[in-house]
Amino acid sequence: MKRQNDIAWLPLNSLRAFAAVHETGSVGAAADELRVTHGAISQHLRGLEDRLQRKLFTRSGTRLVMLPEAADLADNLVRNFRAMAGDIDRFRRDDNILNITVTPHFAQHWLLPRLGEFLQRHPEIDLRINTDATVHDLEQGDFDAAVRHGDGNWPGLSCERLLEGWDAVVAAPSVLESISIQTPRDLTKLPWILDEDRDIEMSRWFDDHGIAHRAHTRITRLPSALTLVAALDGYGVAWLPHVYAAPYLASKRLVQLFGDDLWSAGNTRHYYLCWAEGRSRPGFRTFRQWIRQQISE
């Protein structure tokens, strides 16, 4: 005789239907989620109650209401089904494939100049890089890791700080030829190039230096990946992450204005390497070790 905790006893389709009703909130939505009929879901629920020999729902008019103890069971089922899906996904995927998503700026100005060394050292890893600005779901999606800019507080993720996020006000020498810059207010006489995603942060810089944001009549907003390029081409003053501007400051293609313009000590927005807790395949561990070495050099 089979024990009741034997997997052969489990009514898997009925349990999936039950978990889907709990997760979606209704029989109809669960039917849509599982791509079956409303009647099929109802039949699975009746069959599960018969199998368990206890009620799972009460009726409120025409609506089914899950009993509290049944909701606890459904919570556990949802969590375990997700864990199973994650295990199967990791099993079916080649361990040598590494999918990462990074910000466009980080990809262009930090990662790509160093990437050749990684590919040469690890030809066995099939690296795939996504550079759109979307914040992708690392727990349920196809990405193994992400480089994000923020405070490092993303629930469900492990995050490791890579780069400090302080910024510098810079310009090409040609922009400064015809004007003497003595105070931050003098910068309002020059055209500015701003990252379209960081307008609030730039406004704070203006405020900290007693400059009305609207005092600038020539502001061009560009995607983050283009702000450094536009600054190098002499289109105006830019407010850039120092880590990206540093090589061009050293070569004097850019000039840093007001060298003490670091972020305040309370700034918590930095660059982080993030991954879902419990999801760390060999390819990612190799990449994580390599990027740590690059940061420390």
Which of these, 264, 241, 106, lies nearest to 170 by C-alpha position? 241
Q: What is the average pLDDT across 64-70?
A: 88
Residue 85 shares a structural domain with residue 144: no
Q: Is residue 266 part of a domain?
A: no
Give the closest residue to 249 by CA, choosing from 189, 180, 171. 171
Answer yes or no: do 103 and 129 share one domain: yes
Tokens of 256: 């840093």
202 — pLDDT class (breaks 50, 70, 90): confident
Query: What phi and psi, each to the nearest 5 degrees, are found at residue 140?
Result: -110, -15
Find the CATH number of the domain harbouring 78.
1.10.10.10
Say whether both 53 and 126 belong to one domain: no
- 70/75 Cα distance (integer angstroms): 9
- Alpha-carbon torsion angle 32, 34, 37, 43, nearest 10: -130
Q: Assign residue 126 the CATH number of its domain.
A: 3.40.190.10
Kindly report the average pLDDT of the chain as a whole number. 83
Q: Name the residue range of residue 140's domain.
A: 97-156+273-296
The Cβ of residue 226 has, within 10 Å, a number of other Cβ atoms equal to: 18
Q: Side chain identity at 98, as an amino acid letter?
A: L
> Does one domain contain both 208 and 237?
yes
pLDDT tens profile 216-230: 667 788 877 788 889
Rg of the chain in Å (alpha carbons):
27
Final residue belonging to a domain, choices 92, 107, 142: 92
In a domain, 247, yes or no: yes
Q: What is the pLDDT of residues 239-292, one digit of tens each?
A: 888 888 888 999 999 999 876 554 455 555 788 999 987 777 788 889 999 999
How many distinct structural domains can be found in the chain?
3
Helix (H) or strand (E) holding 263: none
* 140-169 mean pLDDT: 86
Q: Which residues are CB-neighbours of 156 under 8 A, at least 6 positions away?
A: 138, 139, 276, 277
Q: Are both 182 and 218 inside the same structural domain?
A: yes
- Asked if 187 and 220 sit in the same domain, the reply is yes
State CA 95 to chain mean position distance. 22
Answer whether residue 205 is part of any domain. Answer: yes
Mean of pLDDT values over 41-55: 89
